[in-house]
Amino acid sequence: MRVTYNAAVEVATKKPLDVEQVSELREYDPEVGTSPRGWLEVRISVTATSLANACATALAVASAATGAEAIACEVMTEHESRDRGGSVPGQRDAPVAWA
Cβ–Cβ < 8 Å for 54, 76 = no
Cut 0.85: pTM above it: no
- Determine the pLDDT at residue 92: 47
> In tens digits, what is the pLDDT along the chain, a chain of 99 residues?
999 999 999 999 999 998 888 888 999 999 999 999 999 999 999 999 999 999 999 999 999 999 999 999 999 999 997 887 755 555 544 434 444
* Residue 77: Cβ within 10 Å count: 15
| Domains of the chain from N-terminus onward | 3-84 (3.30.70)
Sheet holding 31-34, edge to edge: 70-77, 3-11, 40-48, 31-34, 97-98
